Amino acid sequence: MAATLVVSSRGWGRLQQILAAVLWRRGYSSQQDQVSHKVDLPIEMENPYKEPPKRCVLCGINVDYKNVQLLSQFVSPYTGRIYGRHITGLCGKKQKEISKAIKRAHVIGFMPVVYKDPTFLNDPKICDIRHPE
Amino acid sequence: MPRYELALILKAMQRPEMASALKRTIEALMERGAVVRNLENLGERSLPYRISKHNQDHRRGGYFLVDFDGPPTIVSTMMDHLGRDIDVIRPTFLKHPVSKTEECSGIIPVNYEDKLYTKKK
């Protein structure tokens, strides 16, 4: 009885092997099958829907201490104080350039210090203190 | 020789006097070895604030811009000379501004989270 049982267990194992080979053939796939799966993966490329980087108002404009009109746009009409970065919305470089140019113009005698030149009061408003963005 | 710019504010005078003052200034510059490139007149306008110079109160002035190449030693000597000239209200020597309109790459968004935590070096 024991011998017959042993034979059947061996036979059952052999049956399992045959079944595996027939039904689950994926596990034993050849080289060609593996390559065809890789074609389905997404192609590496830069984001085509990338937005161009946001530019500040003065991007590409040369800032000079001589054009007092441009400098006066970033100055308060009541006190003549220079507006901060959160109000003007300029990038770091341009804010620094404007600030330096305004202070230079003050010293040289091109631009008034404690008020905004009245001739430039009706200029287009770049920095509105009520809606800083 | 480096390139300088002289932002000159002269007293508001009649045309011939203004011309003679300018001539004096430029001759003084050339004496000290400067090569004057350009002289611009920015017009006669009222000063942004009252300037008192040489025992006089000025409210109007003639703005001029002198573009020149000169040795660096010229600055101190010329400031001395112009300080003694009665017709000059405010002289300022500046380095000639290099107009840099490089391609501004726009505002690069800063990652504030990274800045918040100190990185372990």
Q: Which of A54-58, A104-108, A127-131 has the highest mean pLDDT?
A: A104-108
Residue B66's DSSP bridge partners are B6, B39
User: pLDDT tens, A2-46?
Assistant: 555 555 556 677 777 777 666 666 555 555 555 566 678 888 888
Tell whether pTM > 0.95. Answer: no
**Inter-chain touch B90–A62, beta carbons under 8 Å:** no
CA distances in angstroms from A129 to A54, A59, A72, listed in the order given: 21, 21, 14
User: pLDDT tens, B28-55?
Assistant: 999 999 999 989 999 999 999 999 998 9
Mean pLDDT of all residues belonging to chain B: 88
Instruction: Order across the sheet with B35-53: list the strands.
Output: B35-53, B56-69, B3-11, B88-95
**Residue B98 and residue B115: Cα distance in Å, rounded?**
33
Residue among B7, B63, B106 whose CB faces A59 most closely: B106
Rounded to the nearest angstrom, the minimum Cα separation between A74 and chain B is 17
Nearest one of B8, B13, B22, B17 to B79, comparing CA atoms: B8
In chain B, the residue whose alpha carbon lies closest to the alpha carbon of A116 is B48
If you search the block for the tokens 């049982």, which residue do you land on?
A: A5
